[in-house]
Amino acid sequence: MSVEPMKLFFKEIKEPVETAMIGNYAVAGGVTQTDPDVICAFPITPQTQSVEGLSDVVHQGRLKAAFVNVESELAAISYSTAACAAGARTFTATASQGYLLMSEALPMAVGWRVPLTMMISARAFNAPNLSIWNSWEFVITDYGWNCIVSENVQETYDAAILSVMMSDNSLFPTMFVHDGFIISHSVQKLWLIPDEIVRKLTPRKPRHTITTEHPGVWGGIVTPGFFMEGRMGLDMAKKSVLDVMKNSFDEFGKETGRHYNLIETYNLDNSSKTAFITMGSMCGNIISWMTKNKDIGLIKIRAYRPFPYEELQKIVQEHNIEKLIIFEKSDALNNLLPPFSTSIATALYPLKTLFRCFIVGLGGRDVTRDEFSVAKKKMESVNDMKGQLYTYLGVRETKDKIHGVNM
């Protein structure tokens, strides 16, 4: 049985075409166009239809790729890293707990500098209850992968192609993230890029690989005399990655007419000198809400890792932003701030910009104009950085009371 929406990708796409599909199949289509050699993923929950779509494209003979099913996510990332190290263009995908199960092998893709790409459908992990819905589980660990986050189906389709460019150009693995269900299962209109242009954007480049002609020890044990040099080498190499990502965005924009940036801004020169800062699907909600609330701005983080802290400082300074409202879909049981907010706080440290973090939308709870209005109102009375810097928003305290909201 074939996957209906994938039929578009069975043939060469000759000119830009508008279609409507869910985020997962759009990614499968984008990945098909980048012509991977190996697709390896754990096929069962938590997995997405992107891998199902790709299996169909391979089955139909459109894609000459090895499609490998493995027994767990840990096996998937290990297999993918090795395949990529052997020279194959490799794609894998996961979601939710699957990402956590990959943890052990995630740093090696960075250490070996393999240009692997991975799609993540951001979904909650289980504690204290089981939830399959949207949360940002991907922010809780950071092993040095590049990471771009998409707002809608068009962006996530583009990200499938962009991440191959970024991986190949930076020689660091790249993950691209969309919000689980909200984007992964919503049907939205999008424009597909002709195969010719995708081929032009993602040419094969010579790089270091495992070969028999040039044998070596990959990941061998080292004494304390070597390890730190390896780590610092990685750190130095990471410095130029943001520029590489920027160039990839520029090159992509020139060919397709869709211009992205590390950080995108909306209505920052507003009367309240306040802006929301967030990433992913929530940006769309805020932009719609802003059509009726013109005294507030939005900073949308598109490149989450490496964190574009210099860019953010520049934007905040140039537009004289005094207060930032951070919306984050992960929490901070042990820390002053959750992970995404921590990155922002670090960037803002020299500027002394006031901010508060609002934890919203965990486990798929909708984030609506109610949350935006309350956060905006609460921010008006913030004048210092004292006390707890985050609050939960949209949580029932008791049966008839919402935490922190006077009804």
Task: By CB under 8 A, name the one of 186, 247, 267, 313 that touches other proteins.
Answer: 186
Residues 6+ apart with CB under 8 A from 361: 134, 135, 282, 329, 367, 394
Q: Are strands 38-41 and 90-95 parallel, antiparallel or unpaired?
A: parallel
Least separation in angstroms between CB 315 and other proteins? 21
Task: By CB under 8 A, name the one of 364, 389, 391, 404 that touches other proteins.
Answer: 364
What tokens appear for 87 in the block? 């020279």
Closer residue to other proteins in complex, CB, 121/202? 121
Site for other proteins contains 365 (CB under 8 A): yes
Least separation in angstroms between CB 96 and other proteins? 11
Binding letters toward other proteins, positions 103-132, x by CB under 8 A: -------------------------xx--x
Task: By CB under 8 A, name the one of 288, 320, 335, 346 that touches other proteins.
Answer: 288
Least separation in angstroms between CB 148 and other proteins? 18
3-state secondary structure of 227: helix
Binding letters toward other proteins, positions 141-170, x by CB under 8 A: ----------xx------------------
DSSP codes, 232-295: HHHHHHHTTHHHHHHHHHHHHHHHHS----SEEEES-S-TT-EEEEE-TTHHHHHHHHHTT-TT
> 14 — alpha (psi -120 to 50), left (phi > 0) or beta?
alpha
Site for other proteins contains 140 (CB under 8 A): no
Site for other proteins contains 378 (CB under 8 A): no
* Contact of 157 with 27, CB cutoff 8 Å: yes
Task: By CB under 8 A, name the one of 42, 289, 340, 355 that touches other proteins.
Answer: 289
Site for other proteins contains 399 (CB under 8 A): yes
Binding letters toward other proteins, positions 331-350, x by CB under 8 A: --------------------
3-state secondary structure of 391: strand
Stretch that binds other proteins, among 34-42, 182-190, 293-301, 342-350 (CB under 8 A): 182-190
Site for other proteins contains 185 (CB under 8 A): yes
Site for other proteins contains 35 (CB under 8 A): no
Within its chain, how far is the Cα of 102 from the centroid? Answer: 16
Binding letters toward other proteins, positions 48-67, x by CB under 8 A: xx------------------
3-state secondary structure of 117: strand
3-state secondary structure of 328: strand
* Contact of 156 with 178, CB cutoff 8 Å: yes
Closer residue to other proteins in complex, CB, 338/394? 394
Site for other proteins contains 405 (CB under 8 A): yes
Stretch that binds other proteins, among 158-166, 215-223, 278-286, 308-316 (CB under 8 A): 278-286
Site for other proteins contains 133 (CB under 8 A): yes
Least separation in angstroms between CB 287 and other proteins? 5
Task: By CB under 8 A, name the one of 72, 211, 320, 368 that touches other proteins.
Answer: 368
Site for other proteins contains 225 (CB under 8 A): no
CA–CA distance, 2 with 15 (Å, rounded to integer): 24
CA–CA distance, 190 with 316 (Å, rounded to integer): 32
- Other beta carbons within 10 angstroms of residue 283's beta carbon come to 25
For 358-395, b/e burial (b = at least 16 CB within 10 A) is: bbbbbbbbebeeebbebbbebbeebeeeeeebbbebbe
CA–CA distance, 300 with 318 (Å, rounded to integer): 16
Least separation in angstroms between CB 44 and other proteins? 8
Least separation in angstroms between CB 192 and other proteins? 14
Single-letter amino acid, residue 52: E
Site for other proteins contains 285 (CB under 8 A): yes
Q: Which residues in this chain contact other proteins in the complex, by CB under 8 A?
A: 20, 22, 45-49, 128-129, 132-133, 151-152, 179, 181-183, 185-189, 281-282, 284-285, 287-291, 364-370, 394-403, 405, 407
